[in-house]
Amino acid sequence: MKIPLPAKILLTVILVGGAILLVTNAYFAGTAMPFAFFMLTLASVILVLFRVGRSWLDLVFLTVAAALLAIISAWHFHYQPNWESCVSFLGLGSLLVLGIRAVWPEGEKQKLLALAFAPSFLFAAFMVFAGVVLDRTQIWHPKTLDLYLFSFDASLHLQFAFLLGQAYAMWPWFKVIGLALYIALPIPIAMVYAGQLLRGKAEAFPGMTAFLITGPIGMLFYNLFPALGPVHIFQQGFPWHPLTTAEASHLLLEPIAVKGVQNAIPSLHMSWVLLAWWYSRGLSAVERGIALTFVVFTAFATLGTGEHYFIDLVVAYPFSVMIQSLCAFSLRWNQRERVTSALYGLLTTLLWFMALRYAPKLFWTSPLLPWTLCIVTVASALFLHRRLEAAADAVARQPSQSPAEMAVALS
């Protein structure tokens, strides 16, 4: 769609004015931009810009934009920007350049840049919004259900969070790598989305939607089973002083009042990297290798940092399948593979919540039971994930249909 010149000028003014308003906003400049995770969310836009724009002039434009935004913010608040804020300014500058570049070209180039800008903007906006909402969950749920999650992990007779926490303490290099990849979650998401966008809009749209809806839907589930992570419960006792298996088996399970961000189950970090790996199909071996590396080290980091229990990662699998099924747009909404995967993901996640909350002692009858349930959950999730991919591939192999035929097929 061709945009009239006055509209282009107005959109450019809105983008520039919006960026200036952000860097002169106290919460955004003082809280969001120095936060490492949000900093890397903005920085990931640089990757999108260079993958999609492919112009070295963009480097000049984003450097100038970042410098001007930094000067405006420093002048407004009278402070010396630290390195985290500088990276955020570069990311915000790239988002501004990407937005302006999406306004001025014509035709397919404009559509490509607009599709690169919109999700980048929405994902960054969600990260700001998520911090506010997660702070509110502490008020909505003053007590957490961490003891129930810890009890399940202990019933496995292997407390993975404590073991990996000890590994982190003994091997600092392992911890540094794990934490770096844990915090750099936006990078594989941006890499996969930009790569699929270059392949075609049809390939990119499901992944883009999945990445965007994972956060809001996951936050709804956080409110169904509020929990923090073992490091918040054991504090100085983590990771060297876990309860023994015998002590854990007799632990009095009850909601406890603990302050912290209630974002344990399902692990959205794990869900996002799983989705990045799944949606990296068709990209280069290097890109797929990077995505898989993030899956492995994110699993280590979620546990080693004490921010998650092992069961959080297990439940992330059916949750991710549910997200994938919701975004399988090439399939009819009532197609068997899509409906089965959506119901499986939702019901399995809720059944885990119910069992963990109301039947925790059942897992202590034998370590074989919780292990079997974990293996079955992950294996069935991967099976249904592959079925969804196979169904989508079958649709892609079909000859193109006329609009009338497509309307009949989708009805």
Average pLDDT, the chain: 89
The residue whose two tokens read 């919460």 is 27
Rounded CA gap, 5 and 116, in Å?
A: 22
| CB half-sphere exposure, 25, CA atoms < 13 A | 12
> What pLDDT is attached to residue 407?
46
CA quadruple 85, 40, 168, 315: dihedral, nearest 10 = 140
> What pLDDT is attached to residue 403?
45
At 126, the pLDDT band (50, 70, 90 cuts) reads confident
How is residue 142 written in tokens? Answer: 């003053």
> What pLDDT is attached to residue 408?
45
Percent of the chain having pLDDT more than 90?
A: 61
Burial class, 155, CB count within 10 angstroms (exposed 0-12 / middle 13-18 / buried 19+): buried
Region 75-79 average pLDDT? 84
Region 146-175 average pLDDT? 95
How is residue 390 written in tokens? Answer: 């196979």
> What pLDDT is attached to residue 410?
44
What is the per-residue pLDDT across 235-258, written as a single tens digit (0 to 9) for each? 889 999 999 999 999 999 999 988
> What pLDDT is attached to residue 339?
96
Q: Are 251 and 151 contacting, i.e. CB atoms less than 8 angstroms apart?
A: yes
DSSP, collapsed to helix, strand or coil, labels residue 256 as: strand
Percent of the chain having pLDDT more than 70?
A: 97
Rounded CA gap, 46 and 31, in Å?
A: 21
Rounded CA gap, 397 and 407, in Å?
A: 18
In the predicted structure, residue 400 carries a pLDDT above the cut 60 = no
What is the per-residue pLDDT across 295-319, written as a single tens digit (0 to 9) for each? 999 999 999 999 999 999 999 999 9
Region 108-123 average pLDDT? 85
User: Closest Cα partner for 373 from 340, 343, 351, 342?
Assistant: 351
How is residue 8 written in tokens? Answer: 């282009």
Rounded CA gap, 305 and 300, in Å?
A: 8
Strands (E), 139-266: 143-144, 256-257
Of 9 and 78, more confident: 9
If you count them, how many residues does the chain have? Answer: 411
How is residue 377 written in tokens? Answer: 């959950």
At 199, the pLDDT band (50, 70, 90 cuts) reads confident
> What pLDDT is attached to residue 123?
87
Q: Which amino acid is at 144?
A: T
Positive or negative, the Cα torsion across 80, 92, 290, 210?
positive
At 406, the pLDDT band (50, 70, 90 cuts) reads very low
Question: Who contacts 165 (Cβ-Cβ below 8 Å, separation ≥6)?
Answer: 231, 238, 239, 303, 304, 305, 306
CA triple 95-99-104, angle to 5 deg: 150
> What pLDDT is attached to residue 409?
45
DSSP one-letter code for 362 = G
Q: Are 256 and 146 contacting, i.e. CB atoms less than 8 angstroms apart?
A: yes
What is the per-residue pLDDT across 7-43, written as a single tens digit (0 to 9) for each? 889 999 999 999 999 889 888 877 777 777 788 888 8
C-alpha pair distances (Å), 405 with each of 329, 393, 409, 410: 17, 19, 6, 9
Rounded CA gap, 303 and 315, in Å?
A: 14
What is the per-residue pLDDT across 322-350, written as a single tens digit (0 to 9) for each? 999 999 999 999 999 999 999 999 999 99
At 213, the pLDDT band (50, 70, 90 cuts) reads very high
In the predicted structure, residue 411 carries a pLDDT above the cut 70 = no
> What pLDDT is attached to residue 1?
58
> What pLDDT is attached to residue 404?
46
Q: Are 128 and 28 contacting, i.e. CB atoms less than 8 angstroms apart?
A: yes
Q: Are 246 and 167 contacting, i.e. CB atoms less than 8 angstroms apart?
A: no
Q: Provide the β-strand partners of residue 144.
A: 256
